[in-house]
């Protein structure tokens, strides 16, 4: 069975697509595109599609990943183009590569990079909140999970946090200031999401944006010692393990 790994984006209004809705849309796109998908064995066969670290509903992303198994060999570039055409605009298939044997896609994802736009917040206000967050040894927040209400440390999960300088100018359209947060979060258990980090900023600095923040995941992958995030598809493309580069 050939395995193909895919990077896709959720853009515009389709950022509100839930993971379950996207999964249904993707299965329909597979059928429309004529992709020779493989199926599991058993009484109720399912298409061999596996997802890695899906973004929360309402969050835009340029770096979502999944893997499909095929029952016949296909050109990854053709599969990418066919699936992209079959999906609605805003659910865009950006890349596809053949998976190297004996490797795992989730094992190559241990961090995410985010851009968070805070409309109505002055950059100087956000910088002070970030400084307080960075100086803290731990920042505890609560969230209701499937296992009940849990308290966890958001500070430990954040590998890098800063205010982007371009946010110094207000919106040209509205004249309202918009501070922009650049954030790198490690993949931990329980997972720490952008809204958890914003809750942490509220804890340490009483930061309360007047309107909901707009978050976009820019990248997922392996966090290097230099702070860069390596696309998990690159090792499949060039055949060089990340640790040997």
For residue 124, the domain's CATH number is 3.30.70
- Is 125 found in the same domain as 96? no
pLDDT of residue 126: 96
Tell me which residue has tokens 């923040």.
Answer: 213
Confidence of residue 174 (pLDDT cuts 50, 70, 90): low
pLDDT of residue 228: 94
On whether residue 56 sits in a domain, the answer given is yes
- Is 208 found in the same domain as 114? yes
Q: Residue 234: what are its φ and ψ, rounded to 5°?
A: -65, -40
- Is 102 found in the same domain as 148? no
On whether residue 237 sits in a domain, the answer given is no
On whether residue 243 sits in a domain, the answer given is no
- Is 214 found in the same domain as 150? yes
Instruction: Inform me whether the pLDDT recorded for 150 exceeds 60.
Output: yes
Name the percent of the chain lying above pLDDT 90. 81
115-149 burial: b if 16+ Cβ within 10 Å, else e? bbbbbebebebbebbbebbeebeebebebeeeeee
First to last CA, the chain: 28
pLDDT of residue 143: 87
- Is 176 found in the same domain as 95? no
Q: Alpha carbon 83 to chain centroid distance?
A: 20
Instruction: Inform me whether the pLDDT recorded for 162 exceeds 50.
Output: yes
- Is 126 found in the same domain as 57? no
- Is 117 found in the same domain as 86? no
The tokens for 206 are 């009483």
- Provide the domain count of the chain: 2
Measured between alpha carbons, how far is residue 16 from residues 12, 155, 215 in Å? 8, 27, 12
Confidence of residue 144 (pLDDT cuts 50, 70, 90): confident
Average pLDDT of the segment spanning 167-179? 63
Q: Alpha carbon 157 to chain centroid distance?
A: 15
pLDDT of residue 218: 97
Confidence of residue 245 (pLDDT cuts 50, 70, 90): very low
Q: Model confidence over 98-116: pLDDT tens digits?
A: 999 999 999 999 999 999 9
CATH of the domain at 59: 3.30.70.580
pLDDT of residue 136: 97
pTM: predicted TM-score of the whole model, two decimal places: 0.89
- Is 75 found in the same domain as 35? yes
Sorted by sequence, the CB contacts under 8 Å of residue 199 that are 6+ apart come out as 141, 143, 154
- Is 218 found in the same domain as 133? yes
Average pLDDT of the segment spanning 217-233? 95
What domain range includes position 117? 109-229
pLDDT of residue 239: 57
pLDDT of residue 73: 95
Listed residues 107, 136, 167: the one ending a domain: 107
- Is 123 found in the same domain as 102? no
State the Cα–Cα distance between residues 166 and 193, nearest whole angstrom: 24
Q: What Rg do the C-alpha atoms of the chain give, in angstroms? A: 20
pLDDT of residue 241: 46
């Amino acid at each position: 069975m050939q395995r193909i790994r895919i990077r896709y984006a959720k853009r515009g209004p389709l950022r509100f697509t839930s993971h379950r809705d996207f999964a249904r849309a993707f299965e329909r796109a597979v059928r429309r595109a004529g992709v020779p998908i493989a199926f599991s064995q058993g009484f109720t066969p399912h298409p061999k599609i596996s997802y890695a670290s899906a973004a929360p509903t309402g969050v835009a992303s340029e770096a979502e990943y999944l893997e499909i198994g095929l029952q016949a060999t296909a050109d990854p570039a053709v599969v990418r183009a066919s699936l992209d055409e079959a999906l609605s605009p805003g659910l865009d298939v950006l890349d596809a590569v053949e998976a190297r044997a004996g490797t795992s896609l989730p094992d190559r994802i241990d961090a995410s990079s985010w851009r968070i736009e805070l409309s109505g917040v002055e950059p100087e206000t956000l910088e002070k909140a970030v400084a307080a967050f960075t100086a803290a040894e731990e920042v505890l927040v609560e969230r209701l999970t499937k296992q009940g209400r849990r308290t966890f440390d958001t500070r430990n999960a954040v590998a890098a946090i800063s205010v982007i300088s371009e946010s110094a100018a207000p919106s040209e359209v509205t004249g309202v200031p918009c501070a922009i947060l650049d954030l790198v979060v490690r993949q931990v258990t329980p997972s720490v999401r952008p809204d958890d980090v914003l809750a942490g900023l509220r804890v340490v600095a009483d930061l309360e944006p007047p309107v909901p923040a707009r978050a976009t995941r820019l990248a997922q992958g392996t966090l290097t010692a230099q702070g860069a995030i390596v696309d998990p598809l690159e090792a499949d493309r060039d055949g060089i393990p990340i640790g040997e580069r």
